[in-house]
A and B are shown apart, each in its own frame.
Chain A
Amino acid sequence: MKRFLFLVALSVPLLALTGTALAVGPTNIERTLPRTGQRGTTVEVIIQGAILQDPKEVIFFRPGIRAIGIEQLPDLKDRNGGPIQLALVGGAFMQQQMRCKFEIAPDCPLGEHPFRIRTATELTTLGTFHVSPFPCVDENETTPYTNDTLTTAVPVKPNLTVRGLMYGRGTRGDVDIYRVPAVAGQQLTVEVDSARIADNHYGDSEFDLAVRILDEAGRELAVNDDNPLNLQDPVASVKLPRDGVAYVEVKRSVYQQRDSQYCVHIGTFRRPMVAFPAGGQCGQKQVVRLLGDPLGEFTESLDVPTTPSGFDYFGNAPSPVTLRASSYPNVLENPQPGEPAATQLPAALNGIISGPDEVDRYRFAAKKGARLQFRVFAATVGSTIDAKIVLRSVPADGKPGKVILESDDAKPTDHDIFGTSFRSGAGLKEMMDPSVIWDCAEDGDYVLEVLDSSGVGGPLGVYRVEAAPPRDNLFFVLNSNVFDWCEATRTTGLAVPQGGSLMLTLFIMPGQGGRFPGEFDFVAHGLPKGVTLVPTRVRGGEAYWPVQFTASADAPPAGAVITLEARPVNPAIKVTAVCQQNLPFINHSGGDAWRTVRLDRFILAVTEPPPFSIEFQPPSIPLVRSGGLAIPVKIVRRPGFEGAVSLLPGWLAPGVTASVPLLLPAGKSEGELRLTGGPNAPLVTSPFAITGSTVRDDFSDYVGTGHIRVTSVPSLLTVAAPFVELTSTLLSIRRGERKKFVWAVRHNSPLPGPAQVRLLGLPTGVRIVEPLPVLTQGVAEIAFEIEATDDALLGRTGELNCAVVINAGGQEIEQRTGKGALRIDPKL
């Protein structure tokens, strides 16, 4: 017998990097270590990333944390002492790091605290830090797989938060087990923060953890992977059966070879999953039942906030149950199954779909012309159902009438969430909850039905429907759609240099049902000292509009949380402005945001003076439709600054384009920025300014991070109709012939000066015999002398037009007009 042996030498490459997963996105805060701290304590934090030189200030969006003792640390090195070669999108490397201390106030709100860092010249992208009610310790599994069994479990005492690492670089899945003293009858609750503290550009399932609570013999007492309260972050709670020990096991739902951070809160706290009713009337006390806790439901009397919004109930847990504050009273479901509850709108309708076929009904009267918004909060508040609403008329016999509308799910914008691509849900529970506008077409009684479209129902099938006329809300969004909607300081970093100015574009969107069409003025609140908002009046109906902030030369470098208000020109109109940013912290395939951090305000920072300023003469002539405008631009370099500068309009009015940035290389300070007016560009006057950016060869200007940007003084740009329109008829010319090509001129508005006209699009073999015609005010026609050579292409060409070039006030405007045709015939 002959046997063949194949010896395979296997080598397993060891990764040099340690620590947590990296975002590898176009951001400059890549790691915040640790990500969680206890309130009432001071935590030393190291922040690592790109372009973090000279950190000055950590600015939080919410009160409760103060950063002190900021210092820059030496750059990160790999094991050989070289730079960490982990490329981030945009071309830079994660190299810099800083250290500081976070002073967390005893009353600091629990949960996520977003922040930005002001460096000497920059306002970074977003970072987050989380606050726990419990003491925080590290897992400290320095050697992988050392706490993976009951016998090697890490002993912990509730109530505690463990900052763990789900090790993912081995050939088997990591399991982290913690041993907890058990007291019979006592509650043991486990909550994990994993997806909620993740920050990864392309993520899949590495953040998706599962927990189990085991008894002393390893038997399962409770298990959870996903849940309606915290989605992928598991929650498990149990009433312990015996004295002794219990175990908490944390592991991935699905094996993945990636590291990821997590925090596991292990405690004796109550863990309700949803409240009923899930809200109350603003400014009042509301008694709610907290449902879903393994020790049974309990009630709390809550102070409902004074303004309509979502609000949280934490109890003694690390994460909240969400409720709603509404400006109208609650209506509860009719306890008689199937019978409608008499309802006076506006109201918040509250019920529980407790079984698969249950339909709750609310009967109300409406007048023709009434406009109502039915906005459901079910999944949003942690309910287990997939709520659907059906609106029916009520005919004379009182039975359910025809269906007038039905709605199951919603777009993010229906729930006032704007600014990021949410193609597949993005962790937005709101998308499961319908929200619709109904215009009543007929006086009468109507019934709103609420049911579970998944046909399941259950004791936690809570819903709340806010049924009221829609409000006029305007949402201001700093768009971040530069790379798979990730954040980039080019579009979201409000860093205004001392003595300089910065213009960014706001996305303006009315909330669902909003009908505010009018003009308004921006008003900024909370600006740092020395910073002003350039006043502009926003045209009604515009989806994009610039905001420009200017910092005086003596404005102290500082950051501040700001908001913008919309003040309608018509003071009788009331509009609620909402500032919003949704920044993806986990993207799935194709830039599909999975988890976003939502902000309701912006941060603006005053930074060091810019290395250059921009000068240009405001356009004295309008940009015309189908025309171009060349604007001479000059930069004034600060002594010592010789770098290249890239220039673009700070904002482009609708229909106006600037095809490429004007790049002024080192040593050059002047150039021309060319604008083009589209054929349908609105004929309006809009704000105009030019923004310049320093240029790096290691990090794309596209992303913006690591660049200093400054905007010129504000100006205006007008788009006008063409000065003239030229028309012609088909001209035939034989090879070897010379003819006049005549164009009729129609004058729309006075020419600012004589214009030279060029004929464009001539076929090969046809040339213009100079001189070119000059167009002046009042001329009725012009003619080009053209000559066809013996080689001229035979046949018809119909794509001829004219370029009318006007010089006025040192600026050149070019207008394209006309559509002519020419036929080349053979010689006779």
Chain B
Amino acid sequence: MLCALLCLSLFFAPQVGAQNKPAKAPSFGQDVMPVLFRAGCNAGPCHGAARGKDGFMLSLFGYDPAGDYYRIVEDMAGRRINTAVPEQSLLLRKAIGAVPHTGGKLFDDKSEYYATLRRWIAAGAPDDAADVPDTVGLEVSKSSFVFEGGAGKDALRVFALNSDGSKRDVTTLARYHSNNASVAKIDENGRITAGQAGDTNLFARFSRFSVGASVIVLPRADGFVWPNPPAANYIDTQVFDRLKKLRIAPSELCDDETFLRRITIDLAGRPPTVAEYRAFVADGGAAKRAAKIDELLADDRFADLWTAIWAEQLRVMGGNYAPDATHVKAADAFYEWIRRQLRTGRPLNEFVRDMVVASGSNLNNGPVNLYTMMTHSPKFTPKAFASDFSQVFLGVQLQCAECHNHPSDRWNMDDYYGFVSFFQGMKRKGGVESRETRIYYDTAAPPAINVRDDRPMPAKVLGAIEPVAQGGDPRRALAAWLTSPENDMFSRNLANRIWAQMMGRGIVNPVDDVRVTNPPANEPLLRELSKRLVQSRFDLRSLVRDICNSRTYQLSSRPEKSNARDKSQFSHAYLRRLRADVLIDSVVAVTGVPRNFNAFPEGTRAIDFYPRLTGETEGPKFGDNFFKTFGASSRASISSTEIKCAPTLSQTLHLSVGDTLNSRLSAGGKLPALVAAKATPEEIIEELFLLTLSRRPTTQELTDLRALVGTDTKKPQAYEDIFWALLNSTEFLFNH
């Protein structure tokens, strides 16, 4: 302990730029609050809890200094602070464990923390005068660290930037966090210890700011040779640059069979047909992959698949007699509007802008259903909507800032309530028929009130200081800011989501948890994707085309020695279980036996499905048990975690013994015709492989399976078994 205290005192440096000034009583905001923060007093599990702890409440991480001052000094006067005999102050005695304290001993009476608090109390526990500077920013001594060969130590120093221009070392007052402690640990004094090879980020938090530093722990260089793969485009340049820095070699390019299946599933939501397979394999052209990408992007199926993705995200559901403005007709109007935008290649920023500013009938103005479908509740709640809105369109989770400044991001309560005010005037009223609700903005609605101090917070975009112009519908200003090419929060969010859809993982992951403390795995890559998206005028196809044409997208899923443990740098293709809708559509496409969905006409594809219900539409709703089993979004929320692509036991059971596959094997689909049409068992087996896996069987597979067929080569039973096995194989269920 003595050693630790010694170290502490070494790190506890005086204010930089504020030297040689006469000693003053510690400031409540600049000195006392940081001690409480550092000691964890105002953390969530302690007195920062919503109702405090053991009768004493502090604002979480100190978002409300005035309130904290009142509760420490003025509430129950004399109990917590004793200015006559500072050492007898309960605040100090609890902290050093002199009296029972649920939080235990936090520091001792020799520490600087103790000294700071004592001096402040001895000075009469003054509140800050108006000239006490505020912390306006945070800096770290070094923004990136590289450790060689899986070992090493270093240290991080943290500086607070004050409103008077001064700079202060707060290394001993900050709190630290590592996103991956197995790669790099950071202790309470900012000392870093490297661990296993990999990359991560470290964070320091002080006042309301968090600041990070990246860490790369390189594997040993023994035998590693950068393979120098050719870069097909800017994506590869950024990905490979990062991989090279990490000493991770990318996998090889995937073969044509794998590429065809991957791209067809990703862009069309179905496996390639046998004819498509044969044509593609037979094509010896150098540009055939690019041509295939263009062909699939031009097909309406691409737009239809993205319609399903957006509809899932925006919680499109409809119910006959739905009471909350979410009748099937409204859902359909929204769904078809989305489809039309995507089919016609509407720039994504315009697509979003139309939704944001929409007013009118839920039945005949599709985009207005952003305000019905994203809520599915009897009453429109601006707070809940604002949080969801920010999460969907910016990837930012604001909801923490409803009650306190965001603990791990830059957003404070003013940001939150200013953003809520954009939706304060959203109202609903009846239309001209039972199914109809009119959505409009009531310009007379007052702004949201900051619950901390009851201040009205006029509509203000995130990060801005001044509110938008008042009067009229503020959503227009919101839409203009949101969808502006200059707003990289928006374009980065879109780019990241598109990337995640194509690659199976976001550069920021999860895609809707963008925050300072969850930085992108490859910042230059995300920046470049965002820039290209903006340059293409927010053209979805353009960015998808870039991604698909990159070598990165076309890498094999087979890992190399150096990249086997990589899960975030896209050194190889990640295995992705097919989305629930794509899976059932693939089963239908392969077997030739349709699958019907409740309240939809026969022949409806799963990617054209959304839950059509009877009655209310508040989630969770799947509309079909298959979607529930295979992890489609329940549409109960807009969270990206609603969609689950992890395999489960119930999925295995469903496919092996349920009726999705079994009822389709012997039915009048493709199999009987195929058996009848082909001359030999080998041809039939090969055709089944092409249908399901888009590849020819290996010699061994063919030999083994031919043996199963036996002598009665036209008997369907054996082929049904083979078909069943192929459809149950991981190779079919995953895009690889």
Mark A residues whose CB is within 8 Å of B: 1, 3-8, 170-173, 204-205, 208, 225-227, 231-232, 253-255, 356-357, 379, 386, 408-409, 423-429, 431-432, 453-456, 588-589, 592, 594
Contacts and interface: CB of A to CB of B under 8 A. Distances in A.
30 contacts: A4-B662, A5-B662, A5-B665, A5-B666, A6-B659, A8-B659, A8-B663, A205-B329, A225-B333, A226-B364, A253-B332, A254-B329, A386-B440, A409-B429, A423-B434, A424-B430, A424-B435, A424-B436, A425-B433, A425-B434, A425-B436, A426-B433, A427-B432, A431-B430, A453-B442, A454-B360, A454-B438, A455-B473, A456-B360, A588-B435
A429 B360 contact: no
B602 A432 contact: no
Interface stretch (B71-79, B205-213, B373-381, B593-601): B593-601
Contacts of A254: 328-329, 332
Contacts of A453: 440, 442
B431 interface: yes
B363 interface: yes
A426 B435 CA distance: 10
A589 B614 CA distance: 12
Contacts of B721: 1, 3
Nearest to B320: A204
Given A379-B432, A455-B441, A205 B359 contact: no
Given A255-B601, A425-B434, A428-B432, 5 more contacts: A3-B720, A171-B601, A204-B321, A454-B440, A588-B435
Contacts of A357: 472
Interface in B420-435: 429-435
A254 B318 CA distance: 11
Contacts of A386: 360, 438, 440
A1 B657 CA distance: 12
A589 B321 contact: yes
Nearest to A384: B360
Nearest to B321: A589
Contacts of B724: 3
B603 interface: yes
Would you list the 6 A-B pairs with minimal beta carbon distance, nearest first? A588-B434, A172-B601, A424-B434, A171-B602, A226-B364, A454-B359
B115 interface: no
A24 B160 CA distance: 77
Contacts of A3: 662, 720-721, 724
B663 A594 contact: no
A800 to B, nearest CB: 49
Nearest to B473: A455
A204 B327 CA distance: 10
B361 interface: yes
A39 B473 CA distance: 50
Interface in B437-473: 438-443, 472-473
A143 B436 CA distance: 35
Interface string B326-356: 0111001100000000000000000000000
A659 B697 CA distance: 85
A205 B435 contact: yes
Contacts of B364: 225-227
Contacts of B329: 205, 208, 253-254
A731 B57 CA distance: 65
B50 interface: no
Contacts of B430: 409, 424-425, 431
Nearest to B443: A455
Contacts of A231: 432-433
A431 B320 contact: no
A589 B322 CA distance: 10
B679 interface: no
B298 interface: no
B588 to A, nearest CB: 15
B725 interface: yes
A594 B433 contact: yes
A6 B662 contact: yes
B692 to A, nearest CB: 16
Contact of A232 (B359, B429, B433): B433
A585 to B, nearest CB: 13
Best-buried of A379, A423, A431 by chain B (most CB within 10 Å): A431
A92 to B, nearest CB: 27
Nearest to A428: B432
A173 B663 CA distance: 25
Contacts of A429: 432
Contacts of B328: 205, 254
B603 A172 contact: yes
B474 to A, nearest CB: 11
Nearest to A379: B432
Contacts of A426: 432-434
A120 B431 CA distance: 43
A770 B361 CA distance: 75
Contacts of A171: 596, 601-602
Given A6-B663, A431-B430, A455-B441, A172 B602 contact: yes
B513 to A, nearest CB: 33
Contacts of A588: 321, 433-435
A431 B433 CA distance: 10
Contact of B600 (A5, A227, A255): A255
A296 B150 CA distance: 76
Interface string B121-139: 0000000000000000000
Nearest to A427: B433
Contacts of A424: 430-431, 433-436
B434 A589 contact: yes
A103 B175 CA distance: 91
Given A225-B364, A588-B434, A594-B434, A1 B321 contact: no
B448 to A, nearest CB: 20
A808 B364 CA distance: 69
Contacts of A423: 434
A688 B546 CA distance: 86
A453 B333 CA distance: 22
Contacts of B431: 424-425, 432
Contacts of B433: 231-232, 424-427, 588, 594
Nearest to A388: B440
A354 to B, nearest CB: 16
Contacts of A356: 473
Best-buried of A227, A231, A425, A592 by chain B (most CB within 10 Å): A425
Nearest to A426: B433
A644 to B, nearest CB: 40
A255 B438 CA distance: 23
Contacts of A592: 434
A417 to B, nearest CB: 12
A651 B173 CA distance: 86
Contacts of B321: 204, 588-589
A16 B328 CA distance: 29
A588 B363 CA distance: 16
Contacts of B441: 455
Nearest to B657: A4
A431 B725 CA distance: 61
A454 B434 CA distance: 19
A173 B601 CA distance: 6
A11 to B, nearest CB: 15
